[in-house]
Amino acid sequence: MSKALYFSEKDIQKRVTEVAHSINRYYADTCQEVVVIGVLNGSFMLVADLVRNLYGTLIIDFVKVSSYKKGIVSNKNPRMQVGVSVPIKDKLVLIVEDIVDTGHTLQKVIKHIKRKHPARINVFTLLNKTSRREVEVLINWVGFDIPNDFVVGYGMDYAGKFRNLGHIRPLLKFRGEAPMKVEQKSSHPFVAGRAPD
Ligand code: 5GP
Ligand code: MG
């Protein structure tokens, strides 16, 4: 297993805290509240960890996009399923994503938010697969750049599973073919015992 695709809970907490400090510095000069908008479902853990390290008055909201997908195949035309539910006109908006892959999902979210005329949009993604990018998207903070593999854990799923893992691990090598079966030694392969590093 490649080291660059496995991130322990400790790695993640350390990096999220570092990025939070950088975000705090960025917004330090403003006395405006920041609207943090997480992209569901994958960003739920990240938003929870991030906002506990952010200063100032925050409004927290979520949007939901029907992006993923048939298994691990990217959807080039994702749909907004749930839009922003708080006022964002003239506000500072911080979008929080779990992972940017082709960029279509983030592009859709940014378009949706722009239509509501916020003062500014900034983006934090925990993971970034630059080699897979199909559309240019705004990203201001990246947790980790990763190679082209499919990862699960820390909010990210495969077929709805594995979101509860505190760490991030690759599910399989992506080779453009049908997903390989995850090796399972027990019925709870990732819950019992530690993931290999
Ligand atoms: P994009 O539209 O950029 O291709 O994909 C963005 C969305 O697809 C992400 O928000 C995430 O939900 C999902 N995604 C992309 N890559 C991965 C991955 O490696 N693992 C998981 N679990 N989800 C991914
Ligand atoms: Mg996502």
Q: Rounded to whole angstroms, how far apart are CA atoms 126 and 79?
A: 22
pLDDT at position 80: 93
As a whole-number percent, the residues of the chain with pLDDT over 90 amount to 75
Res 175 pLDDT > 80: no
Predicted confidence (pLDDT) at residue 172 exceeds the cutoff of 60: yes
Asked if the model's pLDDT at residue 74 lies above 90, the reply is no
- Measure the CA–CA gap between 189 and 197, rounded to whole angstroms: 15
Q: What is the DSSP pairing of strand 58-65 with strand 80-82?
A: antiparallel
Which pLDDT does position 196 carry in this prediction? Answer: 42
Kindly list the protein residues whose Cβ atom lies closer than 6 A to any atom of ligand 1.
Answer: 39, 42, 67-68, 74, 97-106, 150-152, 156-158
Distance 166 CA to ligand 1 centre (A): 17
**pLDDT tens sequence across 27-41:** 999 989 999 999 999
pLDDT of amino acid 181 = 45
The sign of the torsion formed by the CA atoms of 146, 138, 135, 65 equals positive
Active-site entry in 101, 149, 157, 197? 101
Q: Look up 98 and say whether it is catalytic.
A: no
pTM (2 decimals)? 0.86
Q: What are phi and psi of 100, to 5 degrees?
A: -110, 125
